[in-house]
Amino acid sequence: MVSWHEYMKTRIEGREKGIPWFLHDKLSCFDWSERLGFPIPYIYDVFDDPSLIRVNGNLSSFVLKPTKFSSTRGVMLLERSKSKLYDSMSKKMFSAEGVIEFQRGLSKRFPVSGNKWIIEERISDGDGRDIPLDFKAYSFRGHVELFLVIDRSTSPMSVAWFDCDLLPINSRDISLNPKYVQKLEGLVLDSYPELVQLASKVSAAVNTPFSRIDLYNSARGPLLGEVTLTPGGLYYGDHYRMSSAMDQLMGSRWLLSELELAESRDVLARLAYGSVFSKCSGSEQNNVNRVMNFPYLLGRALDPSVR
């Protein structure tokens, strides 16, 4: 049986085909989410370069983030304090020029083609927290196998893991590294049924066997933060580590999801071209994947004259 780590290694090394990498661009992911009816944070402005960043004076608090960096790199939760801006992530005060310089420095250190910077809604947490909890659903096409919840307001950050039945996972299955994380106590995940439902719906729409769905519990309801196709935490094991048994269980879920996805592609390929997906031409396979990625483009995506 292939483990989750082995599947993920294949993906990270670029040997897995048909991955919807466009979802790693936050703007593309938000456009996809809006078209499919998934709730997302409001976007107030977009900038092509950090030197162009300008903040609307009417915004008392907001989030500034690069669109193509992973994890929390470059993310700033900013709040006005007189003539300065306080960042809840770094717990530092910045001038407007200091924010630009900080982002410009990151851009030079970690150049990414097509990276942009967005000013986004500062989410009002449904539980009244200053920094909202991060909810991360490790999902297989509609089935959530693991839920990770992160509280970034503590040092080190606090985390809690839950299984597919929303029950806490014991330390034998997933162990924590106290150098980087501590256990988040007292959280009951079944208090957030709408979050769990949204995670399942989003993952079912992602055209790949596995994805991690990142969510927030906002005052206006659950919101999709992003879709992560190569989550590093469990893979590299620095902050937390899966047991061999859990790794195999996740691998079996990946295989089942892979088979279900292949069946869906075959059904669509037969409808459009009278053949199973593997027997279709390269352009026909691309069209089928376009439909799987963007179901709202169904008719146009299957038109052989459209490339």
Domain ranges across the chain: 4-24+128-250, 43-120, 262-301
pLDDT per residue over 287-300, tens digit each?
Answer: 999 999 998 776 55
What is the b/e burial string over 160-183, where b = at least 16 CB atoms within 10 angstroms of the residue's CB? bbbbbeeebbeeebbebeeeebee
Q: Name the 3-class secondary structure at 65.
A: strand
Compute the C-alpha angle 172/175/180, nearest 5°.
Answer: 170
Residue 301 has pLDDT above 50, yes or no: no
3-state secondary structure 272-289: HHCCCHHHCCHHHHHHHH
Residue 153 has pLDDT above 80, yes or no: yes
| Preceding omega of 156 cis (within 30 degrees of 0) | yes
Average pLDDT of span 23-50: 95
Tell which residue, 119, 82, 81, 72, has the closest CA to residue 100.
119
Per the DSSP assignment, residues forming a β-bridge with 125 are: 218
Q: Is the dihedral of CA 245, 246, 251, 254 positive or negative?
A: positive
State the Cα–Cα distance between residues 121 and 295, nearest whole angstrom.
Answer: 28
Residues of the chain with pLDDT > 90, as a percent, come to: 86
pTM: predicted TM-score of the whole model, two decimal places:
0.89
C-alpha to C-alpha distances, 210 to 72, 114, 120, 168, 205, nearest whole angstrom = 21, 25, 27, 22, 11
> Is 273's pLDDT higher than 70?
yes
The model's pLDDT over 8-36, given as tens digits with 9 standing for 90+, comes to: 999 999 999 999 999 999 999 999 999 99
**Residue whose token pair is 């909202």:** 132
Q: CA 23 to CA 285: how far, in whole Å?
A: 19
Q: pLDDT band for position 70 (50/70/90)?
A: confident
Q: Among positive and negative, which fits the CA dihedral 232, 237, 239, 241? A: positive
159 phi, psi to nearest 5 deg: -135, 155
280, two tokens: 């279709």
Q: What is the pLDDT of residue 306?
A: 45
pLDDT for the residue numbered 298: 64
Listed in sequence order, the DSSP H helices in 36-130 are 96-109
Mean pLDDT of 215-232: 95
Taking the alpha carbons at both ends of the chain, their separation in whole angstroms is: 38
